[in-house]
Amino acid sequence: MRFDILSIFPEMFPFLIDYGIVGRAVESGKIQINVANIRDFGEGPHLMTDDRPFGGGDGMVMKPEPIFRTLESIPRVEGERKVILLTPQGQRFNQSMARSLCKLQQIILVCGRYEGVDERIRSRYVDMEVSIGDYILTGGELPAMIIVEAVSRLISGILGGATSNCEESFEDCLLEYPQYTRPRVFQGDDVPPILLSGDHEKIRLWRRAQSIKRTLEKRPDLLERANLSERDKSILEELKQKKV
Ligand code: ADE
């Protein structure tokens, strides 16, 4: 998987590329991240990347030619690729989008700035517009990093444990169960005894029930889409009765 990030602030990305899971994946060659500086392809002697909007109005718009030339400079990887524009107008990013993006061979992330990018870039070259949430940031750089991180960690072999990425929150629309580690007693608060029982089936059932309980308490909206067994449903009913 190769990520190409188009930005006028390439200096923002070493933090993403050099640390943590993404850093390790880059180091081991499982993913490649290339940051292309749109300013290198700017217009005129001052390498301009933005200009005033036609029709007037506040702010600046990113010019189409520098973005086009940066896109053209990016080598094509064999396989499926998508050009994604980060914008608050896009489709909302979530775990299931991360899952479908992780099947691609190349993801090109265009980071907009200012009042946006010239509409002709969006209409001619962008396959998908993505937003990370209903709030306005000053640019697409942080959203691009979030997407690279969420997608990279799904690529097989990047996470440590074999099952750790399929058991996580949101994969089946349930939140994760509570986790404990040593010490057994922290400030008088003991670890639930079942976790020390060594009975793996009991532990699995307890964790499932805890996931359902947490989801009901914190994100009941997720339960409508959750994949629940008959047993899960009866746990949920019981929890709902207790609540009222
Ligand atoms: N650019 C500015 N705000 C954004 C958001 N919420 N998501 C994606 N790109 C953005």
Phi, psi (degrees; rounded to nearest 5) at 7: -155, 155
Alpha carbon dihedral 71, 76, 79, 81, in 10-degree steps, equals -10
pTM above 0.85, yes or no: yes
pLDDT in tens, 28-45: 999 999 999 999 999 999
Distance 28 CA to ligand 1 centre (A): 30
CA of 160 to the centre of ligand 1 (A): 31
Predicted confidence band at 157 (pLDDT cuts at 50, 70, 90)? confident
Domains parsed from the chain with CATH numbers: 2-152 (3.40.1280.10), 171-243 (1.10.1270.20)
Q: Please calculate the CA angle 106-163-103 and round it to the nearest 5 degrees.
A: 15
Question: Identity (one letter) of the amino acid at 154?
Answer: L
Of the candidates 210, 205, 133, 203, the one whose C-alpha atom is nearest the C-alpha of residue 176 is 210
Ligand 1: which of 132, 138, 146, 148 to mutate, judged by most atoms within 8 Å of the beta carbon? Answer: 132
Give the C-alpha distances (Å, rounded to integers) separating 47 from 39, 44, 74, 171.
6, 5, 19, 44
pLDDT at 171 over 80: no
Which protein residue has the closest C-alpha to ligand 1 atom 7? 131
Q: Residue 221 C-alpha to ligand 1 middle, in angstroms?
A: 24
Whether the per-residue pLDDT at 159 is higher than 80: the answer is: no
pLDDT given at position 169: 63
